[in-house]
Structure 1
Amino acid sequence: MHCQPDHKHQVYIWLKNEQTCLICDEATHSRHCVCNVCETELPWLLAACESCALPLPMDGLICGQCLKKPPAFKQVIAPWTYSFPIDSLISRFKHQARWPLGQMLARLLGQHLQHRFDTTELPRPDCLLPVPMARKRLRERGFNQAHMLARWLSQDLDIAVDEHLLLRPHDTVAQQALDAKSRQRNLRTAFALAANADVTGRHFALVDDVLTTGATAHSLARLLIHAGARRVDVYCLARTPKPGT
């Protein structure tokens, strides 16, 4: 008696399947489903503010806004600027439910973070926290892209993720339609911590898709720091440039 059936036809082996680049549709052997050419030509963020990751002409600087009013978070890590084709890939992931695109970007972000952990003094966080989404928008979209990114990063980096520690009990106006000051006012009472949240002395990393003004990240980081967190970083796919640049 054989444990496996006697099958003489060719067996399809997934591990040897040639992948297709999700950007240019050309064949690739990369496990991230992006070819070397497309990966190289992505808008990599090479010089940025050491605090908020705002694109700057030179590396190793802190932008004027962070010098004037330091944010509650310690550091933003973003591999790319929010420009083509990253802006299109993120938009299709968020608004068209193109989850393979989101997973590809999350895998590349995880690779970027692991490199930073290994080669710089960037400390590994104790836990990943996806930025919570307003309930109305969650019902409309059907999923929170930050939750999905955090789960994929958790798998690749072996860092715990807590999707329930941060709450968004009140729906607010969509941030995209507001200027920087209006965004801050809009978020003053938008977030809360779950009951009995374990925060004291811990290092957290907020996970989101794009950082624009940093108002959401600042509000959440301030909430965590005031509750006793040791440090809060921000991991996102892309950072928008300063308006007009």
Structure 2
Amino acid sequence: MHCQPQYKGQVYIWLKNKQTCLLCDELTDTSHPLCTPCESELPWLGDHCQMCALPLPMAGLTCGQCQKKPPAFEQVVTPFTYGFPIDSLITRFKHNAKWPFGRLLAELLSQSLQHRFDEDLIRPDALVPVPLANKRLRERGYNQAAMIAHWLSDSLNIPCDERLLLRIQDTTAQQDLDAKARKHNLQRAFALAPDALIKGRHLALVDDVLTTGATAENLAHLLMKAGAQRVDVYCLARTPKPGELT
């Protein structure tokens, strides 16, 4: 049963005139539905870990966890910390099918990635969305990570391959668990598709939020073990350490 929605067309009509901000409902002066004042107030990611993007007090540092045990992925690229109103927009997109919010955030992520590509970030061979278990896909009706990946693919002209990875085991929702439980929860949850072409490819995992990094680490390890040259992670937001939420 194929529950993924057909979203090849635009979810939001991107008009160049009379565009309304999705946050304050005022007319915007930009090409997307977000006015300049609201955009400037978003929780943009500042100084962060060079590997996992954990917010840090200074630039150019690597967090203690990544120093102790370097992750299987090369680096995480994300424009935001998981704080208001980004957290609300992601929740409404993910759980309430408010697709315009997801489309807007994907556009902002796309702009951030293009800026990084223009500087020094190496473009991947393909975007790979984090897979959703069949049961959860049937219940929700769509995989938000796949939608983000396809929007990025259209904007950045990078192929999206959502058939490389499989979620073979339904698990407890990650947001309900602590870091140790998250890692244990994902054991044997994912697998490679039988015909997956991995060897020598630079792949970028795509998801909505990176919290402990357990899912990204599990999938990156799986891809690297299968011969991937490099794995990056692209997501809408990165959570700070517990107690540091803004």
Same fold (TM over 0.5): yes
Q: Which residue of 2 aligns with 1:32?
A: 32
Structure 2: how far apart are the matches of 1:136 and 1:225? 27
Q: Which residue of 1 aligns with 2:6?
A: none
Question: Is 1:93–2:93 an aligned residue pair?
Answer: yes
Question: Is 1:195–2:194 an aligned residue pair?
Answer: yes
Q: Provide, for residues 65-118 of structure 1, a one-character-per-residue CA deviation record: whole Å limited to 9, x for no partner.
A: 000011110100010000000001101111111101100000010000000010
Query: Is the CA contact (8 Å cut-off) linking 1:131 and 1:206 kept in structure 2?
Result: yes
The within-5 A match list for 1:67-146 is 67-119=67-119, 121-146=120-145
The within-5 A match list for 1:46-65 is 46-65=46-65
Summarize the Cα distance change of 1:15–1:84 in structure 2 as closer, same or farther, 3 Å threshold: closer
Further displaced range: 132-141 or 182-191: 132-141
Q: Provide, for residues 25-79 of structure 1, a one-character-per-residue CA deviation record: whole Å limited to 9, x for no partner.
A: 1001322211111111100001100000000001110000000011110100010
Structure 1 residue ranges without an equivalent (≥5): 1-13
Q: Which residue of 2 aligns with 1:229?
A: 228
Structure 2 residue ranges without an equivalent (≥5): 1-13
SS in 2 for 1:160: coil
Structure 1: how far apart are the matches of 2:133 and 2:59? 35
| Higher CA-based Rg | 1
Q: Which residue of 2 aligns with 1:164?
A: 163
SS in 1 for 2:124: coil
Q: Which residue of 2 aligns with 1:10?
A: none
Which amino acid in the other structure matches residue 226 of structure 1? K
Further displaced range: 133-142 or 88-97: 133-142
Q: Provide, for residues 113-161 of structure 1, a one-character-per-residue CA deviation record: whole Å limited to 9, x for no partner.
A: 0000102x21000000000012222122111100000000001100000
User: How far did residue 186 of structure 1 move?
Assistant: 1.2
- For normalisation by structure 2, the TM-score amounts to 0.92
Which amino acid in the other structure matches residue 217 of structure 1? A
- What count of residue pairs does the alignment treat as equivalent? 231
Structure 2: how far apart are the matches of 1:15 and 1:154? 21
SS in 2 for 1:156: helix
Query: Is the CA contact (8 Å cut-off) linking 2:124 and 2:203 kept in structure 1?
Result: yes
Structure 1: how far apart are the matches of 2:17 and 2:94? 28
Structure 2: how far apart are the matches of 1:229 and 1:134? 23
Summarize the Cα distance change of 1:20–1:228 in structure 2 as closer, same or farther, 3 Å threshold: same
Q: Which residue of 2 aligns with 1:218?
A: 217
Q: Which residue of 2 aligns with 1:7?
A: none
User: How far did residue 173 of structure 1 move?
Assistant: 1.3
Query: Is the CA contact (8 Å cut-off) linking 2:15 and 2:31 kept in structure 1?
Result: no
Cα RMSD over matched residues? Answer: 1.1
Query: Is the CA contact (8 Å cut-off) linking 2:22 and 2:33 kept in structure 1?
Result: yes
User: How far did residue 17 of structure 1 move?
Assistant: 3.5
SS in 2 for 1:55: coil
Query: Is the CA contact (8 Å cut-off) linking 2:54 and 2:238 kept in structure 1?
Result: yes
Q: Which residue of 2 aligns with 1:150?
A: 149
Q: Provide, for residues 213-241 of structure 1, a one-character-per-residue CA deviation record: whole Å limited to 9, x for no partner.
A: 00000000000000000000000000000
User: How far did residue 16 of structure 1 move?
Assistant: 5.0
Query: Is the CA contact (8 Å cut-off) linking 1:32 and 1:108 kept in structure 2?
Result: no
SS in 2 for 1:109: helix
Query: Is the CA contact (8 Å cut-off) linking 2:18 and 2:27 kept in structure 1?
Result: yes
Runs (4+) off by over 6 Å = none
Structure 2: how far apart are the matches of 1:37 and 1:70? 38
